[in-house]
């Protein structure tokens, strides 16, 4: 995925995507330590998973299957969930898709 996938960066997230040969899309989450505690890391991970569940997954199941990896940057540790949501929506627009209306 690193060599052939499409990469999209925002202030707090990095998305990589690639067409999948499977029937369903797959989404992975990577939250590196970045010299943070396990509690902070798990909080960021839970927030990203919830945002994926609410906005990214409904969009993915309506399109041809693709694999997506969402990676948190060091800036993701110090921002509220609304900022993460805005960055994910921005990345989705750059993918050529729009998030579902909420």
Residue 32, both tokens: 């590196």
The pLDDT tens digits along the chain (102 residues) read 567 789 999 999 999 999 988 999 999 999 999 999 999 999 999 999 999 999 999 988 888 899 999 999 999 999 999 999 999 999 988 887 655 555
Order of strands, sheet of 6-9, starting from the edge strand that comes earlier in the sequence: 6-9, 13-19, 66-72, 26-30
- CATH number among 3.10.100.10, 3.40.50.2020, 3.40.50.2300, 3.30.230.10, domain 6-94: 3.30.230.10
Please list, in sequence order, all residues whose beta carbon lies within 8 angstroms of the beta carbon of residue 20, skipping any fewer than 6 positions away: 26, 65, 66, 67
- Report domain extents, the chain: 6-94
pTM metric for this prediction = 0.86
């Amino acid at each position: 995925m690193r060599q052939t996938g499409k990469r999209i960066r925002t202030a707090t997230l990095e998305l990589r995507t690639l067409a999948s040969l499977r029937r369903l899309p797959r989404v992975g989450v990577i939250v590196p330590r970045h010299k943070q505690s396990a509690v902070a890391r798990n909080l960021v991970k839970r927030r990203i998973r919830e945002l994926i569940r609410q906005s990214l997954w409904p969009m993915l199941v309506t399109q041809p299957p693709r694999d997506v990896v969402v990676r948190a940057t060091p800036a993701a540790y110090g921002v509220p969930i609304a900022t993460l949501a805005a960055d994910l929506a921005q990345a989705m627009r750059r993918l050529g898709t729009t998030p579902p209306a909420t």
